[in-house]
Every structure is written in structure tokens, then in C-alpha cells.
Amino acid sequence: MKISCAKSNKEGTTLVDVIMAVAIIAIMATGIVGELSYGFFTMGTVRENQRATQIMLETLETIRLYNWSQVNSNGFIPSSFSSVYDPQSAPGSQGLTYYGQIIKSNGPSIGASINSNMVQLDISLRWTNRNIPHFRTVTTYIAKDGIQNYVF
């Protein structure tokens, strides 16, 4: 019995095939790196916005606990403030600094008796990260017979 091996056609990969495969892999890798970069950028922006919201609400809730004479006294509510992202970390590595401004004005002009018993507070916050300026604001009203009469 005679066993004969069939001739196999062994063809090599041409240079054009290799270049095309490398080009496709490079395009796919660039897309994946771009998606990861965009995802990290978006998550950073979300964290910054969340921290800004926390700072504004913390300031707002603190002011809401003041009594009516404190709210109406000049200079008791500061007109500006600042807050760092992580005050517990070492100096120089605390992250972003948020700069806030508080504007107190008369309440809405609904009626004569209501106007003297209500003030409007506008709290705005600004910060810059990656040379992109950001700005957030919140508006609230404080009434003379508000929460401070129940807490204190």
C-alpha cells in the first residue's frame, strides 16, 4: 500500500493584506481610545456638576436656618464665598475651587403685605476646568415665618 500526501497549496500573505489588516486595527483602536477618553471627560463633568449642586444646596440650607432678623441684617449673609473640591486633602492637591455669589433681593411683587415678609436669594457658582468656564445658579425664596421658627 502506497500512501501519498496530497500537494498543499501554501500561499503566503502579501504585503498589501498585512497593511490593510494593520490599518483596520489602527482605526478600531483609535475609536476605542476616543470613546474611553470621551467617557472619562463626561464622567468628570458630571462629578463637577454634582459637586456644584451640593455646594449650592449646602449654602442654601444653611441660610434657610437663619432667623428673619439675621436674614435681613446687612452683612450677615456673605455676598461671596469659595469652596474647594476636597478640603481634606493636602494643600496644592485639593482639586477645583468653586467661587460663589449670593444676591439678596426683595421677593416677588405679589402684594404689599407679602413683599415685606419675603426675600429672594440667587446663589450662583462658577468654576473653570480644562480652560472651560462653568456656571450654575439656583433661586429660592425665604419667608418671615419660614422653617427657622420651627427649628429654633
Residue 19 in any domain: the answer is yes
Supply the pTM of this predicted model.
0.70
Residue 5 in any domain: the answer is no
Residue 2 in any domain: the answer is no
The span from the CA of 123 to the CA of 140, in Å, is 8
Q: Which residues of 44-79 are buried (b: 16+ CB within 10 A; e: fewer)?
A: eeeebeebbeebbeebbeebbebebeebeeeeebee
Q: What is the pLDDT along the chain (152 residues), one digit of tens a residue?
A: 677 666 666 666 788 888 999 999 999 999 999 999 999 999 988 988 999 999 999 998 888 888 888 888 888 888 999 888 766 677 777 778 899 999 988 766 665 555 677 888 899 999 988 888 999 999 888 888 765 555 54
Domain count along the chain:
1
Which amino acid appears at position 110 of this protein? Answer: I
Nearest residue to 58 via CA among 105, 100, 2, 29:
100
Question: Residue 110 in 3-state DSSP?
Answer: coil
Residue 124 in any domain: the answer is yes
Residue 1 in any domain: the answer is no
Residue 70 in any domain: the answer is yes
* Amino acid 24: pLDDT: 96
Residue 39 in any domain: the answer is yes
Residue 31 in any domain: the answer is yes
- Helix segments in 89-129, DSSP class H: 112-115
The strands making up 118-129's β-sheet, listed across from edge to edge, are 80-84, 97-106, 118-129, 132-143
Domain range for 69: 15-151
